[in-house]
Amino acid sequence: MKAEIIAVGSELLTPDRVDTNSLFLTEELNKLGIEVVRKSIVGDNRDTLSAAFKEAMERVELIIASGGLGPTEDDLTRETVADLLGRKLHLNHEILRYIEGRFRQLGREMPAVNVRQAMVPEGAEVLENPRGSAPGLWIEDAGHFIALLPGPPRELKPMYQERVLPRLLRRSSKVRMFHRELRVAGLGESGVEQRIRPIYTRYTDVNTTILAAPGEIQIHLRMWTDDAAHAQKTLDEIAQGFEIALADRIFSQDGSSMEEVVASLLTRNNSTISAAESCTGGLLAQRLTSIAGSSSYFLGGVVSYSNELKTAWADVPAELIQTKGAVSSEVAIALAEGIRRQVGSTLGVGITGIAGPGGGSEEKPVGTVHIALSHAGGVKERGVVFPGDREAIRWHASQLALDLVRIHFLYNGGEPPSRIAKRA
């Protein structure tokens, strides 16, 4: 079964509000093997609202709409759908009594406008709403299922779970969606595409999406089938193919973030880490400590923007800064080694660079970053020129620093990154 979601409300066509009900609904529908093929957001306008339902009915079996069931003049979903389907609206006395009761409980009389909420299209089933005054509606029409739900998430979510889900379960097939997400660092979108294309194109029953996110590429595999074992086997096979094609560039096979992967490696290897940052300004420390329980592996870090503090906090010799420049591989190494010694951690990271927009030169343009990782066996250093603006450069630098830690555990002893339990 395929579905479309229609969000109704002029406030959703302003710059301030985004429809989030559809994320919840999509997740729920996907679990039942129902694919959402389109989402529409329309204002409180009879014509565009009607067009949205009409078009959706031409394409899909299931339509779920949110919003526009309120008591005021601009709440048009009920009337518009009844009109479109050629069904009359009748006053439902039971609903009316319920709404009147709600107002009585609040010590108020029901305003006359609320009568609208008790109007039900011929043949529609009423979806009770214990959390608000607007009931939902379920309509079956010529092979279509239409659910009209209230807009507030705290009313919509339980109504879906309690009233819509049971109806869908009776009708949905046994097909379910199986999903796998892999994340890749250190390669661009087209680089990833080129390497994995020969693999995924062999699987015509699997949908592969490649997404660029800051500092990483995400690969989503989605498969729709009623055979769970077959799905797991197929997705495993593809993931193994990708592992060969992308080698150590895959950092996550379960959608976990780079900081989560690094946190788990540090924990499982009983290692601690410290950081001396310049251009990233605390971003690396902030990412390392964003994970619950980070105090077990992160002892501390310094943000040494000034040269004096590089010397005071991370023992970087002042002459080194003078001769090589604050942005140099030598200073990155000194920062990493100095902070590791100062803190007494297993690993030490040093980052120095030019995040811009000012401060660049011909020799060291904006985006130049040196990152070093100091460990018991020595030190590793990488110099890069990142593209993009200040925010992008800082993010990329923190991502590469985390990736160096990950790669360290991959090759310099330590337990290899786990095959984290794969999500279906």
Question: Interface residues for a second copy in 316-345 (CB under 8 A)?
Answer: 342-343
| 278 Ramachandran zone, left/alpha/beta (phi>0; psi -120 to 50) | alpha
Measured from the Cβ of residue 158, the count of other Cβ atoms closer than 10 Å reads 13
By CB under 8 A, residue 83 contacts a second copy = no
Judged by beta carbon, residue 85 or residue 366, the one nearer a second copy is 366
Name the token pair of 229. 């074992």
Beta carbon of residue 122, minimum distance to a second copy (angstroms, whole number): 26
Judged by beta carbon, residue 146 or residue 279, the one nearer a second copy is 279
Beta carbon of residue 73, minimum distance to a second copy (angstroms, whole number): 8
Beta carbon of residue 88, minimum distance to a second copy (angstroms, whole number): 25
Between CA 64 and CA 39 the distance in angstroms is: 10
Name which of residues 19 to 58 contact a second copy (CB under 8 A): 19-20, 23-24, 26-27, 30, 35-45, 48, 51-52, 55
Looking at residue 38, its amino acid is R
Judged by beta carbon, residue 241 or residue 282, the one nearer a second copy is 282
Beta carbon of residue 228, minimum distance to a second copy (angstroms, whole number): 20
Name which of residues 136 to 195 contact a second copy (CB under 8 A): 152, 154, 188-191, 193-194
Name which of residues 262 to 301 contact a second copy (CB under 8 A): 275, 277, 280-286, 288-290, 292-295, 298-301
Measured from the Cβ of residue 6, the count of other Cβ atoms closer than 10 Å reads 26
Judged by beta carbon, residue 181 or residue 337, the one nearer a second copy is 181
Q: Specify whether the CB–CB gap between 382 and 308 falls below 8 A.
A: no
Between CA 271 and CA 412 the distance in angstroms is: 13
Residues near 328 by Cβ (< 8 Å), separated by ≥ 6?
352, 370
CB-count exposure of residue 414 (10 Å: 0-12, 13-18, 19+): middle
- Of 87, 131, 157, 341, the one binding a second copy (CB under 8 A) is 131
Judged by beta carbon, residue 80 or residue 208, the one nearer a second copy is 208
Name which of residues 381 to 400 contact a second copy (CB under 8 A): 387-392, 394
Between CA 200 and CA 169 the distance in angstroms is: 32
Beta carbon of residue 57, minimum distance to a second copy (angstroms, whole number): 13
Alpha carbons within 13 angstroms on the beta-carbon side of residue 313 total 20
- Of 165, 305, 325, 380, the one binding a second copy (CB under 8 A) is 305
Judged by beta carbon, residue 276 or residue 407, the one nearer a second copy is 276
Q: Specify whether the CB–CB gap between 66 and 28 falls below 8 A.
A: no
By CB under 8 A, residue 363 contacts a second copy = no
The closest of 370, 378, 366 to 351, measured between CA atoms, is: 370
Name the token pair of 369. 């970053």
Judged by beta carbon, residue 42 or residue 147, the one nearer a second copy is 42
- Of 95, 118, 206, 303, the one binding a second copy (CB under 8 A) is 303
Beta carbon of residue 407, minimum distance to a second copy (angstroms, whole number): 20
Name the token pair of 254. 């379960």
Looking at residue 14, its amino acid is T
Beta carbon of residue 101, minimum distance to a second copy (angstroms, whole number): 13
Judged by beta carbon, residue 290 or residue 412, the one nearer a second copy is 290
Q: Which residues pair with residue 422 across a beta bridge?
A: none
By CB under 8 A, residue 106 contacts a second copy = yes
User: Using CB under 8 A, which of the segments 118-126, 224-232, 355-363, 371-379 binds a second copy?
Assistant: 355-363
Angle at 336 between CA 331 and CA 338, to 5 degrees: 90
Beta carbon of residue 102, minimum distance to a second copy (angstroms, whole number): 9
Name which of residues 212 to 241 contact a second copy (CB under 8 A): 212, 218, 220, 222
Q: Which strands sit side by side in the sheet containing 347-353, from one edge to the other? A: 273-277, 347-353, 368-375, 378-385
